[in-house]
């Protein structure tokens, strides 16, 4: 018995469905790696550590570094693991309250500024007592005194040193005042420790404040803060001291990147009014940030800004921090603002000045970024030289857990070899294959719509043919016997 021939529309649907199946099977293979970079072994060892440069973050297509691979000269995969930077746990920060005492009236030119407190040494303990009786409320202290004596607390041998002060005030709502500071261990010998500016601004988009006073590398226990204009100074209500306690562990430090302003890349996100006055920075890859610092080459600059970031050019901007950057030249001294903490994972940064501030000068400014970049550790197996592959949009995770690559990490870390990554180059064959896969991906929805349309047309034709043929004839009945 011969098999009935399929109608043309059925044959077309079958062929189109087969094309979609073939395209889907081809899509099951991950996109090839567009880029490769040579790995240079600087110090040989069974396990080799290689810090990732910013270029590696700029060539991956998956922000979590999933599309990284290490291969040997034959193209065989080399087991590796990602070692996140431990800089975030290198310093254990402590905050303690400081004691504030208003300074007496400013002395005449050349005079010695009397201290509002006395230091009493009792054995190994140093205590501070206010002259003239118990200390009064800080909030009630007169602002006309010209400054403050700040006791950051007793510092014993081996104790961590203060890094910076954070001031608190009750008002006014807006101010901007410069200061200079001196430090001392005994209230007798004072040494200059720089200058700076504190500020508070109110705007429709929220408050901008700069309450941080940076300290020198070896500050004394006592800090004398002197206002440049006491009448414009805030009414301080307290201060806290940030102390960094060093950890005795072998860790990777953050890496410093200096970035010049660049034009904002065109993307799907429409430009806004802030783009005209802002400075835009491209970090070169999506990286986890620790802090940022806007530095000026020369002159006096004060820049209250909002820091905005995004991972990709087609995403909307989001605010990640706000603060005041400054560089002050006064009497031969140069004071600058401390770095601004920015715990964000971004590639693009935009510094938007306050509405009442001047536009930022892209010629005189540069951005210094501390980023927590990762390192790779791999087993030195296979045939060298080794290469790092990157740039696959859908590759599965290539890194193994650290315990699977280095069985005894704590003991092996000190014996790691060292490697550096060379410049990335485009793999032309992989790039062509990736473009072909991209074209197939763009064509796939149209093929699917084609199958749906052919199916609907075939169903309609089948219904029309059944309706045209009329009702089926009843089977003939045999006559009764």
346: domain CATH number is 2.60.120.260
For residue 279, tell me if it sits in a domain: yes
Cα 12 to Cα 6: distance, rounded to the nearest angstrom: 10
Cα 423 to Cα 37: distance, rounded to the nearest angstrom: 6
Q: Are residues 267 and 307 in the same domain?
A: yes
Cα 57 to Cα 383: distance, rounded to the nearest angstrom: 26
Q: Do the strands 47-51 and 417-421 form a parallel or antiparallel pair, or are they unpaired?
A: parallel
pLDDT digits (tens, 9 = 90+) for 377-423: 999 999 999 999 999 888 899 999 998 999 888 888 889 999 999 99
Q: Are residues 48 and 118 in the same domain?
A: no
Cα 383 to Cα 21: distance, rounded to the nearest angstrom: 39
- Give me the percent of the chain exceeding a pLDDT of 90: 29
Q: Are residues 381 and 367 in the same domain?
A: no
Q: Are residues 389 and 408 in the same domain?
A: yes
Domain termination residue (choose one: 353, 371, 389):
371
Cα 149 to Cα 190: distance, rounded to the nearest angstrom: 12
Ranking 202-211, 388-397, 409-418, 463-472 by mean pLDDT, the lowest is: 463-472
For residue 173, tell me if it sits in a domain: yes
Q: Are residues 272 and 307 in the same domain?
A: yes
pLDDT digits (tens, 9 = 90+) for 263-319: 887 665 666 777 778 899 999 999 999 899 999 888 888 889 999 999 998 888 999
CA 226 vs CA 102, 197, 246: distances in Å: 10, 11, 31
Cα 81 to Cα 376: distance, rounded to the nearest angstrom: 6
For residue 290, tell me if it sits in a domain: yes
Tokens of 49: 């550590």
Q: Report how many domains make up the chain.
A: 3
Q: Residue 333: name the closest of 366, 300, 360, 365 by CA.
A: 300
Do residues 275 and 345 lie in contact, with contact meaning Cβ atoms separated by under 8 Å? no
245 by DSSP, 3-state: which? strand
Give the domain range for residue 157.
91-246
Cα 360 to Cα 353: distance, rounded to the nearest angstrom: 7
For residue 464, tell me if it sits in a domain: no
For residue 12, tell me if it sits in a domain: no
């Amino acid at each position: 018995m011969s098999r009935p021939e399929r109608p043309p529309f059925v044959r077309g649907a079958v062929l189109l469905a087969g094309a979609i199946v073939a395209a889907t099977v081809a899509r099951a293979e991950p996109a090839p790696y567009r880029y490769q970079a040579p790995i240079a072994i600087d110090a040989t060892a069974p396990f080799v550590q290689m810090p990732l440069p910013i270029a590696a973050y700029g060539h991956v297509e998956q922000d979590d570094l999933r599309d990284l691979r290490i291969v040997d000269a034959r193209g065989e995969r080399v087991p590796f693991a990602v070692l996140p930077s431990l800089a975030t746990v290198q310093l254990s920060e402590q905050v303690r309250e400081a004691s504030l005492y208003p300074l007496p009236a400013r002395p005449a030119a050349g005079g010695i500024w009397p201290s509002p407190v006395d230091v009493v040494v009792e054995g190994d303990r140093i205590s501070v007592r206010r002259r003239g009786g118990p200390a009064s409320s800080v909030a009630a202290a007169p602002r006309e005194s010209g400054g403050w004596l700040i006791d950051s607390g007793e510092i014993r041998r081996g104790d961590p040193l203060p890094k910076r002060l954070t001031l608190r005030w009750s008002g006014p709502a807006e101010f901007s005042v410069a200061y200079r500071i001196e430090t001392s261990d005994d209230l007798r010998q004072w040494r200059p420790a720089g200058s700076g500016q504190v500020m508070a601004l109110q705007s429709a988009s929220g408050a901008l404040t700069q309450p941080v006073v940076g300290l020198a590398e070896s500050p004394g226990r006592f800090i004398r803060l002197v206002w440049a204009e006491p009448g414009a100074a805030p009414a301080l209500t307290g201060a806290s001291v940030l102390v960094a306690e060093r950890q005795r562990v072998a860790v990777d430090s953050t890496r410093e990147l200096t970035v010049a302003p660049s034009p904002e890349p065109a993307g799907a996100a429409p430009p806004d009014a802030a783009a005209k006055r802002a400075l835009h920075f491209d970090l070169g890859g999506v990286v986890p940030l620790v802090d940022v610092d806007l530095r000026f080459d020369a002159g006096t600059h004060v820049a209250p800004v909002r820091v905005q970031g995004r991972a990709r050019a087609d995403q909307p901007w989001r605010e990640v921090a706000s603060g005041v950057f400054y560089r002050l030249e006064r009497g031969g001294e140069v004071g600058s603002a401390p770095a601004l903490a920015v715990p964000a994972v971004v590639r693009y940064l935009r510094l938007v000045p306050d509405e009442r501030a001047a536009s930022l000068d892209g010629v005189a400014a540069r951005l210094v970024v501390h980023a927590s970049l990762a390192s790779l550790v791999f087993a030195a197996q296979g045939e060298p030289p080794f290469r790092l592959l990157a740039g696959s949009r859908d590759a599965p995770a290539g890194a193994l857990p650290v315990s699977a690559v280095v069985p005894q990490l704590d003991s092996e870390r000190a014996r790691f070899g060292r490697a550096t990554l060379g410049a990335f180059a485009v793999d032309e064959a992989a790039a062509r294959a990736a473009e072909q896969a991209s074209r197939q991906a763009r064509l796939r929805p149209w093929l699917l719509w084609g199958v749906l349309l052919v199916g609907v047309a075939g169903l309609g034709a089948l219904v029309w043919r059944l309706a045209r043929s009329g009702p089926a004839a009843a089977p003939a009945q045999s006559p009764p016997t």
